[in-house]
Amino acid sequence: MKRRDFLKASLGGGAALLGTGTAEARGNLEPAEDAIGMLYDSTLCIGCKACVSKCKEVNGMPPTSLGEETAWDAARDLSAETLNVIKVYSEGAGKLKDAVKDGYTFEKRSCMHCVDPGCVSVCPVTAMRRDPKTGIVTHHPDACIGCRTCMVGCPYNVPQFDYDNPFGEIHKCQMCNQAGVERIDQGEMTGCAEVCPTGATLFGSRKALMEEAKRRMTLKPGEIYNYPRGDVRNPESHHEKAVPEYQQHIWGEKEAGGTNVLHISSIPFDKLGMPPLEERSYASISETVQHTLYSYMALPAIALAGLTYVVRRNTDDEGGDDS
């Protein structure tokens, strides 16, 4: 993917040209100490969409139908009425589960709950917030002005505005912990992880999930592993399955500062539609530039003082012209 190749270069070159030192640069934010998250293992997903259905039930959203017969939820992508969706990857004959060639697999799309969220950084009115304790990226419609900068500032196109409602709002996954739902605060897990029959969506702390993901990376393909379901620290049950050939890549460990929702797969992530991200978050670059120019409003204040002096002198010269 060409965009991936050039972004890294742009980082260094741009900074050098403008002379913005890295000394003042704001680095990526760090994960919250007790961040919670999810681990999605595409090799375990069977595409049953129980998670899509449960998500809509928890969030009070209607199913999406494809014509008259509504046998299953047919949402194709995230929308104001779909906060979680399962997509299909298919190559060639599309017959072998988890094979790159002639294979197929599934991929979950929902908010990744970035460690350094673009939406939080760009929102002018603090309607997007990162919960300091859980790391959940929350949305607050009472503050939102609907400018949709969060949508363009999200590397995953997650926040969705309800365009069909004259009084619409932004919708996104809030890990089932928004006011009125509060599953996490009540010690429950997210709806999608709770109903997943294969443990493809696993709930837990970011740390525990990262350990689990790293463990799976070390397993030998073909050997039997006892996969947990539900909550990684307190699984409600396990099932045994042969280990697939994992890509040695945990999506969300480092991408743009990392995410609390981690993905692992046997298919390279660019083929699964994940964006071309470097380790440095765009939020951190944007804020570095902005705070270099507007630190304590010093530059604008000096500029205004200078301009006022010059303009005053020059308007006095003209005299008669303005009277």
Pairing mode of beta strands 103-110, 84-90: antiparallel
What residues from 170 to 229 belong to the interface with other proteins (CB under 8 A)?
170
Q: Which residue has the tokens 């409602």?
A: 165
Task: Specify the residue, 69 or 321, whose C-beta has the smaller distance to other proteins.
Answer: 321
Task: Specify the residue, 27 or 124, whose C-beta has the smaller distance to other proteins.
Answer: 124
Task: Specify the residue, 84 or 205, whose C-beta has the smaller distance to other proteins.
Answer: 84
Q: How far apart are CA 291 and CA 27, in angstroms?
A: 13
> Beta-carbon neighbour count of residue 211 at 10 Å?
14
What residues from 267 to 286 belong to the interface with other proteins (CB under 8 A)?
273, 275-277, 282-283, 285-286
Cβ 153 to other proteins shortest distance, Å: 4
Task: Specify the residue, 167 or 226, whose C-beta has the smaller distance to other proteins.
Answer: 167
Q: Does residue number 151 form part of the binding site for other proteins (CB under 8 A)?
A: yes
Q: Does residue number 27 form part of the binding site for other proteins (CB under 8 A)?
A: no
Q: Does residue number 323 form part of the binding site for other proteins (CB under 8 A)?
A: yes
Q: Does residue number 131 form part of the binding site for other proteins (CB under 8 A)?
A: no
Question: Among residues 131, 169, 211, 245, which is the contact residue for other proteins, using CB under 8 A?
Answer: 169
Q: How far apart are CA 199 and CA 192, in angstroms?
A: 10
Stretches 53-61, 196-204, 259-267, 304-312: which one binds other proteins (CB under 8 A)? Answer: 304-312
What residues from 77 to 106 belong to the interface with other proteins (CB under 8 A)?
77-79
- Closest CA relative to residue 45, chosen from 122, 119, 98: 98
Q: Does residue number 20 form part of the binding site for other proteins (CB under 8 A)?
A: yes
Q: How far apart are CA 134 and CA 260, in angstroms?
A: 10
Q: Could you give phi then psi for residue 131, rounded to 5 degrees?
A: -60, 125
User: Can you give the three-state secondary structure of 220-249, one letter per residue?
Assistant: CCCCEEEEEECECCCCCEEEEEECCCCCCC
Radius of gyration, CA atoms only, the chain? 24
DSSP for 77-114, please give it: S-BTTBSEEEEEEE-TT--EET-SSSEEEEEEEE---B
Q: Are 229 and 212 in contact (CB under 8 A)?
A: no
Stretches 13-21, 98-106, 183-191, 232-240: which one binds other proteins (CB under 8 A)? Answer: 13-21
Stretches 33-41, 90-98, 137-145, 211-219: which one binds other proteins (CB under 8 A)? Answer: 137-145
Task: Specify the residue, 68 or 142, whose C-beta has the smaller distance to other proteins.
Answer: 142
Cβ 140 to other proteins shortest distance, Å: 10
Question: Among residues 160, 178, 247, 265, which is the contact residue for other proteins, using CB under 8 A?
Answer: 160
